[in-house]
Amino acid sequence: MKLRYVTLAIIIIFLICLVLFPNIVYDRFLWKYFIGPVVADAVGHPVEYHGVKAYEGYTIVSEIVYGAFLVLFIYLLYLFFEKYSIKVDLKFILCSLPFLLYGSFARVLEDAGIFQKPLAYFFISPVIYIQIGIFFFLSILYGLKFKDAKTFAYSLALKDIGYTLLYIFIFTKYCRYNIHPIIFALFSLFAFYVYYKQEKKDYNASMLSFGLLTFSSAFFIFIYFSLGNANFLPEILIAPFLAFIISFLLYIIGYSYEIYEILHNKMNALLVFSHMLDGLTTYFAVVNPLNFKIEYGEKHPLPEFLMKRFHGIGYPLLKLFVILGIIYVIDDLKMNLKNTIKFFILFLGLSPGLRDLLRILIGV
């Protein structure tokens, strides 16, 4: 209760400051570090508002603020899971993966110029993460409230109607490639089949089914675009291959030596793989040690610093040591809290890692 009042007080104080000192609060803080970079990403060049320039990418300030919000959100989500007896385990994480995959594929579609402004803003980080969070949260709420296939079918019918309206009034105007409502309805039937086949109609079933519906749409457009426009670079697949080798070897070490048994855990292996995928893909793209015909930069301050030193290998190595350290430090926490943290760590690694891999793979 006290936390609620403190949060409300902070919001009120912030809004008062925004009204009284707009040049400082909005122009030099919100615009410069948060809103402006999203706009700059969408238009592809620096933007200016009231004499304050904003650039694409992240800064130390924005990363600290986003990190603080992430910690707060993890804690609030953990409280939500506890209140409604939601068990965060490997099954929960696997059922939520379609939402994560949707985010990566949709972000690549934005990189490819599929979406036009203002729709493009919804597919640029961090806005797309908010979008994914809303979809994810709604699917859990649905699974907690409704537990029968008939109601699920009705909800899919409503989604088909909603998508048809979006298709008519928005997607046809602001998307270069679209999914016809009939095809979307077929995806809905597939989602219903997945839900129907689940023995237990709970939040895991609704997450998996709604997530597959969301992901299949982005995946369909991605494939359609790639077949006609991609400049494929299959060599970049060395990144997920090495990420798998590293995570598999650590998993075997955990199995072979009791002192390292914490590594013999499928969820921990998935965490290592996700962040090695992100670190190695970034390494091969930015440092380019194998001389691929590509040219990419880094938006985050710390990775950019490491890429320019130690031949760039310091970044994936740092990610590996940090992930192993986090796994060790949180091992004694309550199971649900520990796995909630792991869920977000997985998201922070696999989502950008897969996005970068797909982007390089098709040459956008």
Domain boundaries, the chain: 88-229, 234-362
pLDDT at 1: 52
> Distances from the Cα of 187 to the Cαs of 210, 269, 324, 333, in angstroms?
10, 31, 39, 40
This model's pTM is above 0.85: yes
pLDDT at 192: 95
pLDDT at 190: 96
Ranges of the chain whose pLDDT falls below 70: 1-3, 298
